[in-house]
């Protein structure tokens, strides 16, 4: 019996040694909290595909980032905060370099955990707007733009279209009745005072996303001039359909960047032509980075997306998100001299992130996006945004890059950050050193 056990153990050890690589490879573990199921899957699938495909392309083309292979693991959240936290808890022991919660609700739950577990949170253009304040939130990053910047760009767009005077106009915010949807309210209230417009709020509960009839009747009754749509998932195509159905001027319905799925606009058929959404990257598959994804991922059947979806708005959003991850890891490698960086290293990488025009060209994204610079105090950058417009088949760039109203947004962010921290007596003071920008 003992002999049998010894032989079995020896055989197992021998087999294990054969299976192990000759030289241990440096790896970087990137968990992706995604949702390919549930009511928000219509938006989530495209982003998940874009995020995964860019990282996979780096693995296939370059062998990873800076010589370290990327271990990509998706965890399905269904856009459910509870499941998102479960995903976090089940993966945090694997030495993740950062987390992408892909939900404002999940982000809010992870913010207090980030400093404790020493893993940064990258909530790209979503999450808590106040977390742009790096002094109070050293472990949370939300570049390139906050919801508050987005709302201010929307108002600037309206100002431009209305000849600079919107006093007395009625501007509506139709929003998902959830933390994500409510985010732009404080800045819109501040801007309403500043510019003299009437702000009307139209919350849409998640259970009513596909049943918005009375909301749009209210919009008609209130004679709303412009609508800002802070919607997600099944809410967006229904909003576009209802706008068309109710005869609301479609070019005066402007979505936040998350309300810019190609499927969202398609749902409105011919009537959706002219629908607008804010954007911080371009659409289309003509960029070298997209061609590399097609060559190294699609040609090898490694993607879950359809080939024709490459270039669509939300797919490209996922690619952009993973580009930020990769550039943060690269910066961390440069700062530490290590290949297999950890969460604390990538926090430094995110804080010293400086993606210039030249760098965008190097990574095949010239003309795809604007430069991004993060600093120790500013974890966002409050970068420029443009307006995209649906031409019946795709989104096209319909404005120049528009600067957010930083003079209004930034003080509000710092004030909100202080308020957030003051509510939590045990909130740690920043002790992290500040690296020089890359």
Partner 1 sequence: MDLLFKIFIDPFLQMGAMPDLLVQTLWEGLVSGVLYALIALGFVLIFKASGVFNFAQGIMVVFAGLTLVGLHEKGVPAWLAVLLTLGVMLALAVAVERVVLRPLVNQPDIILFMATFGLTYVLIGIGEFIFGGEPKQMITEELGLPRGAIDVAMLGGRVTFQKIDIAAAVIASIMIAALAVFFQYTRIGRALRAVADSHKAALSVGISLNQIWAIVWFAAGIVALITGIMWGARSDVSFALQTIALKALPVLILGGFTSIPGAIVGGLIIGIGEKLAEFYWGPLVGGGIENWIAYVIALGFLMVRPQGLFGDKIIERI
d(CA 241, CA 18): 59
Member of 51, 87, 259, 267 binding partner 1 (CB under 8 A): 267
Stretch that binds partner 1, among 112-120, 152-160, 232-240, 373-381 (CB under 8 A): 232-240
* Of the candidate residues 42, 66, 134, 138, the single one contacting partner 1 (CB under 8 A): 42
Site for partner 1 contains 202 (CB under 8 A): yes
Return the residue matching tokens 């610079």.
373
Distance, CA of 49 to CA of 320 (rounded, Å): 12
Q: Does 245 bind partner 1 (CB under 8 A)?
A: yes
| Count of residues touching partner 1 (by CB under 8 A) | 40
Q: Quick one: which segment of 100-108, 133-141, 145-153, 205-213 binds partner 1 (CB under 8 A)?
A: 205-213
- Residue from 28, 32, 41, 111 touching partner 1 (CB under 8 A): that is 41
The correct pick among 205, 249, 367, 411 for binding partner 1 (CB under 8 A) is 205
196 binds partner 1 (CB under 8 A): no
The residue ranges of DSSP E strands in 280-377, in sequence order, are 354-355, 372-373
- Nearest approach in angstroms of CB 90 to partner 1 is 20
Using rule CB under 8 A, residue 220 touches partner 1: yes
* DSSP character at residue 296: I
C-alpha–C-alpha distance, residues 257 and 149, integer Å: 11
Q: Which is nearer to partner 1, 169 or 182 (CB)?
A: 182
Query: Is there a contact between 121 and 101 (Cβ–Cβ < 8 Å)?
Result: yes
Give the CA count within 13 Å in the CB-facing half-sphere of 125: 24
Q: Please identify which residue in 25, 160, 211, 291 interacts with partner 1, judged by CB under 8 A.
A: 211
228 sits near partner 1 (criterion: CB under 8 A): no
Angle between helices 406-423 and 185-195 (to 10 degrees): 140
**DSSP helix, strand, coil percent of the chain (3-state; round to 5):** 50, 15, 35
Q: Tell me: does residue 135 bind partner 1 (CB under 8 A).
A: no
Q: Scanning residues 64 to 93, which ones bind partner 1 (CB under 8 A)?
A: none
**Residue 233 binds partner 1, judged by CB under 8 A:** yes
CA–CA gap between residue 107 and residue 112 (Å, rounded):
9
HSE on the CB side for 89, CA within 13 Å? Answer: 7
User: 49 or 107: whose CB is closer to partner 1?
Assistant: 49
| Residues 34, 28 contacting (CB under 8 angstroms) | no
CB of 208 to partner 1, least distance (A): 6
Return the DSSP state at 373.
E
CB-based contacts of 108, cutoff 8 Å, min separation 6? 81, 127, 128, 179
CA 346 – CA 335 distance, rounded (Å)? 9
Contact segment (CB under 8 A) with partner 1 among 108-116, 195-203, 335-343, 358-366 equals 195-203
- Asked whether position 39 contacts partner 1 by CB under 8 A, the answer is yes
Give which of 305, 181, 158, 312 is closest to 235, Cα–Cα: 181
Q: Under the criterion CB under 8 A, does residue 207 sit at the interface with partner 1?
A: yes
Question: Least distance from C-beta 219 to partner 1, angstroms?
Answer: 11
State yes or no: residue 237 binds partner 1 (CB under 8 A): yes
How would you label 408-417 residue by residue, b for 16+ Cβ within 10 Å and e otherwise? bbbebbbebb
Whole-number Å distance between alpha carbons of 361 and 131: 29
Choosing from 14, 63, 196, 247, the residue that interacts with partner 1 (CB under 8 A) is: 247
Examine residue 217 and tell whether it contacts partner 1 (CB under 8 A): yes
Q: If we measure between CA atoms, which residue out of 106, 112, 156, 113 comes closest to residue 127?
A: 106
Q: Which is nearer to partner 1, 27 or 37 (CB)?
A: 37
Query: Which of 114, 190, 204, 417 forms a contact with partner 1 (CB under 8 A)?
Result: 204
**What's the min distance (Å) between Cβ of 210 and partner 1?**
4
> Residue 380 corresponds to which tokens in the numbers above?
């966002």
Residue pair 401/384 in contact by the 8 Å Cβ criterion: yes
C-beta of 161 vs 192, nearer to partner 1: 192
Should residue 10 be labelled a site residue for partner 1 when binding is judged by CB under 8 A? no
Within 8 A by CB and 6+ apart from 229, the residues are 174, 175, 236, 239, 253, 254, 255, 256, 259
How far apart are CB 117 and partner 1 at their closest, in Å?
Answer: 30
Rule CB under 8 A: choose which of 187, 209, 329, 363 binds partner 1.
209
Among 24-32, 261-269, 279-287, 338-346, the segment contacting partner 1 (CB under 8 A): 261-269
Interaction of residue 273 with partner 1, rule CB under 8 A: no
From CA 345, how far away is CA 134, in angstroms rounded? 16
Decide if residue 38 touches partner 1 (CB under 8 A): yes
Residues in contact with partner 1 by CB under 8 A are 35-42, 44-45, 177, 201-211, 213-215, 217-218, 220-221, 233-234, 237-238, 241, 245-247, 263, 266-267
């Amino acid at each position: 019996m003992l002999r049998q056990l010894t032989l079995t153990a020896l055989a197992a050890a021998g087999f294990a040694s054969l299976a192990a690589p000759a030289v241990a490879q440096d790896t970087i573990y990137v968990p992706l909290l995604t949702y390919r199921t549930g009511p928000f899957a219509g938006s989530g699938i495209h982003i998940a595909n874009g995020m995964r495909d860019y990282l996979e392309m780096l693995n296939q083309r370059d062998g990873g980032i800076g010589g370290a292979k990327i271990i990509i693991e998706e965890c399905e959240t269904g856009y459910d905060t509870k499941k998102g936290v479960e995903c976090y808890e089940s993966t945090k022991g694997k030495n993740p370099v950062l987390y992408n919660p892909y939900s404002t609700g999940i982000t809010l739950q992870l913010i207090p955990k980030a400093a404790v577990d020493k893993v940064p949170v990258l909530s790209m253009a979503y999450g808590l707007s106040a977390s742009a304040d790096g002094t109070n939130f050293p472990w949370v990053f939300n570049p390139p733009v906050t919801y508050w910047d987005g709302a201010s760009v929307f108002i600037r767009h309206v100002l431009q279209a209305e000849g600079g005077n919107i006093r007395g106009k009625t501007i509506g915010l139709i929003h998902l009745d959830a933390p994500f949807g409510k985010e732009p309210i404080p800045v819109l209230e501040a801007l309403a005072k500043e510019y003299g417009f009437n702000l009307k709020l139209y919350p849409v509960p998640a259970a009513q996303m596909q049943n918005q009839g009375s909301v749009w009747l209210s919009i008609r009754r209130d004679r709303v001039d412009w609508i800002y749509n802070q919607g997600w998932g099944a809410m967006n195509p229904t909003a576009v359909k209802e706008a068309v159905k109710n005869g609301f001027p479609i070019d005066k319905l402007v979505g936040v960047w998350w309300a810019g799925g190609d499927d969202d606009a398609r749902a409105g058929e011919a009537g959706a032509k002219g629908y607008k959404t804010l954007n911080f990257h371009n659409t289309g598959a003509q960029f070298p980075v997209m061609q590399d994804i097609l060559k190294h991922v699609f040609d090898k059947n490694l993607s879950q997306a359809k080939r024709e979806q490459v270039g669509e708005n939300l797919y490209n959003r996922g690619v952009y998100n993973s580009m930020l991850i990769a550039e943060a890891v690269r910066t961390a490698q440069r700062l530490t001299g290590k290949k297999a960086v950890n969460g604390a290293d990538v926090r430094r990488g995110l804080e010293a992130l400086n993606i210039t025009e030249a760098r965008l060209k190097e990574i095949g994204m010239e003309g795809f996006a604007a430069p991004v610079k993060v600093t120790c105090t500013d974890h966002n950058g409050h970068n420029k945004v443009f307006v995209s417009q649906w031409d019946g088949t795709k989104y096209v760039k319909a404005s120049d890059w528009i600067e957010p109203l930083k003079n209004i947004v930034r003080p509000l962010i710092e004030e909100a950050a202080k308020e957030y921290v003051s509510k939590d007596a045990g909130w740690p003071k920043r002790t992290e050193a500040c690296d020089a920008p890359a």
